[in-house]
Structure 1
């Protein structure tokens, strides 16, 4: 059965239960969710959406976004997630690769990309928006358009309003919910303007991913999952639980308040975001049973704070996943801290949920399984993913991350992998976060090794402590204390390039 088919079956079984709670508190029942998805599917097919059509998707997390995305996939289309704020050149390159036939965006985005005063305002704030309403694809002509929200000047002529799509006829689910092996989601992740990279997932690979989440993370009717993450929200809906969405602009204080008010039993946070929440609410609500951390490594200090903030019966879990294959491994905070405090080296990821092997030549982690994406858009299908991560198995068969191949520093004949040492340094009293970067030495060709820390640890005392914790050849040339580490993107991952610029020349 397809991903959409399983969700609609769950909706048919519990039509009166609340499926989605919007940021403003508006509720959508499973019965209404089912009706709206089927109505969107029917309306799009009637409007000319054909099997295999790609839909450029620029709608922020909301019930409307969920319904529209599911309706597109049910109609046989694929949702293309390409951030229009990435800049005109990158956006154009991604458009050229994806070749969508449709565009779905919020009315305010159409207006903002078309009206000169709004474009000028966005440009002053560093946001260069493409003119979505005028997009063309070579050989296909202009895109068809769907808009979400109240009509605004700048919405293309002939664009289909979401409100019309959901208010139309809803055919029975048995008449089709898409091909499980066809493209369902195209997610741009990295690359350059010359060579953009996009991950292609099918309904089958996404359904397998959701099954792995549900096996490791008990979910069912009565549970409330507070998140804006699609890959946690979808297993929530398939299990009959309630998906609670935070508002689009949600402060840590408001996020914490909604956890309490909505009776959340599960939540997902980027580690930095959780730290911000714990600043305003040191104790998490008693109803919260699972706190999932992901998208970036969780420093020991944050894991300790999360454990002390949660009720004794709650579980704090760290999820290791990649856009190409998710989830890969899940470890509890207690397991990760025990590994770090035993100076085991590297970051414990947990027992792999998929097939994992370590390349014998360079230690790179390779992954495969039913949740593996089809491949990269425009490339041949893949059967195994070379992750770019360096890892090893411990004595219990658990994966331990030792670094990134691209982050390797060169010091004489020694190859230094920051990820092997950063968790142990971050576990030292007074250190909140730690990161190692290299600043190239133009004379020797080696790299000056700089340790950047956040916290109140004294650099000289720290320097005396390090030889007992890390290899001699990994000892830093300099230690720099910062108020915070630079981060980027929604996942708030460490930005090593910016950090390198920050510490260059810093005494």
Structure 2
């Protein structure tokens, strides 16, 4: 059974229950969600969307974006996440590879990318927006368009209105959709010369939802507070309520909103949770699960999360765009691992059905029903080389570092991820990261440890580190920063920027 069919069937069973609560508090029942998805599907098919057509998706998380994405997939289309803010050259390279035939965007984005004053303002803010209204299918002609929100100057004249689609006829889904056909294309890394996009099917995404639910039970009455699609969808398939946070807002408002809506589950990027706890040290007592992911969870954040939600289970999720989730470890397990000063970051045991083995060089190789179909423009994959170095500890995965982050010190290969969790677990250390600064004179690298904490940390760490990490991994220099540089929506550590900050 496909992902969309499972959601529609659940909605048919509980049509009067609340399925979604938007950032502004607007509620959507399961029955209305089902009707809108079917209406969008019907409208797109009537407008000429063909099976396999890519739809460039530039709509922020909202009930409208969920309905539109599900309607596209239900019609046999493919949702393409290419990020129009990635820069003109990268965006163009991604379009050449994906060749979407449709563009779906918020009306404000159409206006902002076409009206000269708005484009100039965005450019001054460092955002180079493509002119979405003039996008073309390479070598064929103009794209078709769907706008979300009221029509504004800059929206193409012939663009379909999402609201009009959602208000249209909604015949039931009768034709079967191939669960192994592409459903989503997600651009990740890559360059303008060689962009990289992951292709997921309805089958791989459905398997991912099921794996989340094996570790995090969900059902009617539960409230999942998140803006993450891959956690909101399991809630809907299980008959729970998806609570969406506002698109913008102060950290203090996040805890308040979870409390008001009776959240039982929530997902945070670790650095975002830290900001929330700075503003509100206690999380709602209704929480049963606090999930952390998209970046490593430092020991200091884990301790604060456990203290803030003593009745909840705090879990750290290891996942990749290509295969998610892979493993889930509790805060207690991770903290106990760090307290033993054991090397590496504990990820937990692979979830049921996920295959994990180590290559000869220690690289983690993964497989399973939740593995993506492959990369756009390439053949199918049956096993994923992750680029992560790992070891097995009693059936549990322990992350030892990233292959590309390796530093060379004489004959010693230093993997920062092997030591950073143990350093971050030391008293007074909020965060820790190791980078190499090239030494032009020796060709070697100066090993610099950057930490967040009090100003006397360098002296204290000089005394304690020899008992925690290998002698050859001891830093040449320790730098205290107010915060570690981060980038992107998930606020991942920006090692290139960190290297710039600590270079004399």
What are the residue-to-residue correspondences of 1:103-502 with 2, within 5 Å? 103-173=103-173, 175-176=174-175, 178-311=177-310, 313-353=311-351, 354-360=354-360, 362-394=361-393, 396-456=394-454, 457-502=456-501
Within 2, Cα distance between the matches of 1:300 and 1:461? Answer: 18
Distance 2:229 2:412 in 1: 42
Question: 2:94 matched to 1:94?
Answer: yes
**C-alpha distance in 2 between matches for 1:461 and 1:8:** 58
Corresponding residue for residue 18 of structure 1: 18
Deviation at 1:176, TM superposition (A): 2.9
Matched residue SS, 1:283: coil
| Distance (whole Å) between structure 2 residues aligned to residue 179 and residue 216 of structure 1 | 28
Alignment partners' CA distance in 1, 2:176 and 2:472: 57
Equivalent-residue separation in structure 2 for 1:81 and 1:156 (angstroms): 21
State the distance in 2 between where 1:72 and 1:254 align: 33
Q: Secondary structure at the match of 2:50?
A: coil
Name the SS of the counterpart of 1:436 in structure 2. strand
Q: CA–CA distance in 2 between the matches of 1:250 and 1:30?
A: 27
Aligned-residue offset at 1:139: 2.6
Please list every run of at least 4 consecutive aligned residues from structure 1 whose deviation after the TM superposition is greater than 6 angstroms. none
Contact 1:73 1:177 (C-alpha < 8 Å) held by counterparts? no
Residue 198 of structure 2: SS of its match in structure 1? strand
CA distance in 1, matches of 2:250, 2:355: 39
State the 1:446 CA deviation: 0.8
Shift in Å at residue 157 of structure 1? 1.3
What is the RMSD computed on CA atoms of the aligned residues? Answer: 0.7
CA–CA distance in structure 2, aligned partners of residues 155 and 178 of structure 1: 32
The change in CA–CA distance for 1:432 and 1:177 in structure 2 (over 3 A counts) is: farther
| In structure 2, distance between residues paired with 1:417 and 1:69 | 40
1:345-379 deviation line (CA, Å, top 9, x unaligned): 1000000111000112x100000000000011001
Contact 1:42 1:169 in 2 (8 A): yes
Shift of 1:460: 1.4
Please tell me whether the aligned partners of residues 188 and 197 of structure 1 are also in contact (alpha carbons under 8 angstroms). Answer: yes
| 5+ long unaligned stretches in structure 2 | none
Is the Cα–Cα contact under 8 Å of residues 38 and 171 in structure 1 kept in the other structure? yes
User: 8 Å contact 1:75–1:177 — kept in the other structure?
Assistant: no
Write the distance in 2 (CA, Å) between the matches of 1:128 and 1:270: 26
CA deviation map 1:287-341 (0-9, x unaligned): 0110000000000000000001113x31000000000000000000000000000
Distance 2:66 2:417 in 1: 36
CA distance in 2, matches of 1:178, 1:421: 47
- Aligned residue pairs total 501
Give the distance between the partners of 1:284 and 1:308, measured in 2 at CA: 9
Aligned to 1:76: 76
Q: CA deviation at 1:115?
A: 0.2
Q: Unpaired segments of 5 or more residues in structure 1?
A: none
Maintained 8 Å contact 1:422/1:434: yes
TM-superposed CA distance for 1:179, in Å, is: 2.0
The alignment partner of 2:46 has SS state of: helix
SS of equivalent to 2:304: helix
The structural deviation recorded for 1:177 is 5.7
* Cα deviation, residue 458, structure 1: 2.4
Cα distance in 1 for partners of 2:117, 2:25 equals: 33
Shift of 1:444: 1.2
Which deviations, in whole Å up to 9, do the C-alpha atoms of 1:99-144 show, x marking residues without a partner?
Answer: 0000000000000000000000000100000000000122321100
Say whether residues 1:49 and 2:49 are aligned partners. yes
Q: How high is the TM-score relative to the length of structure 2?
A: 0.99
Deviation at 1:197, TM superposition (A): 0.4
CA contact (8 A) 1:74 1:177 kept: no
